[in-house]
Amino acid sequence: MSDLTDFRSSKDHFVQHDPQSPLTTDQKAAFGGLKYFDDEPSLKFTLEVQPYPEEETIEMQTTTGGAASFVRWAKIAFSVDGAPAELTVYKDASHGSLFLPFADSTSGDETYGSGRYIEPEAQPDGTLLVDFNYAYNPYCAYNAAWTCPITPAENRLPVPIRAGEKNFE
């Protein structure tokens, strides 16, 4: 089994069986597994970080009308099928963990409309590992009772990212 297969299997088990799962009891009873795109090696990147000169704390709107604080930390640039793409990586204002929300041209059709998330991995050489095969839906995609940050306009891509988790049905 690959790391990606293990990750997806663990997530399915968590979503169906864990008390902290975002699913309702009825959803758990009918759960047949999450849907994913096939592994796409071309959407795994080790990227140079372009830090913002001034780290600015922003309030990201949430699905329930509130806001969550994040620091605009750095930009990353890459290409998808030859098309240039750029995203902002944020840091959680409370914990400092890296957070990469994004929406793409599959959002609202093949994937969750408000976008998906990735947790980039800082590498020893200062680059970031960004593997879109691990892109996941926020909990509010499964159950509207959860609150989730909405992907900011600057992280909405015109290209399709056909990797990671698909729409929850």
Task: Please identify which residue in the block is written with the tokens 């930390």.
Answer: 73
Domain membership flag for residue 51: yes
Q: Which of 95, 140, 89 is nearest to 113 (CA)?
A: 140
Domain membership flag for residue 6: no
Distance of CA 143 to the CA centre of its chain: 17
Domain membership flag for residue 71: yes
C-alpha torsion 39→35→103→122, nearest 10 = -50
pTM (2 decimals)? 0.93
35-60 residue pLDDT tens: 999 999 999 999 999 999 998 999 99
Domain membership flag for residue 88: yes
Domain membership flag for residue 149: yes
> How many CA atoms does the CB half-sphere of 45 hold within 13 Å?
22
Structure-block tokens of residue 54: 């001034």
Quick one: DSSP state of residue 115? Answer: -
Range of the domain at 78: 40-155
Residue 51: count other Cβ atoms within 10 Å of its Cβ: 12
142-154 residue pLDDT tens: 998 999 999 999 9
Domain membership flag for residue 165: no
pLDDT of residue 1: 60
pLDDT of residue 96: 84
pLDDT of residue 79: 96
Structure-block tokens of residue 157: 């891509």
Give the total number of structural domains in the chain.
1
82-120 residue pLDDT tens: 999 999 999 998 888 999 999 999 999 999 999 999 999
Domain membership flag for residue 163: no
CA distance 13 to 20: 12
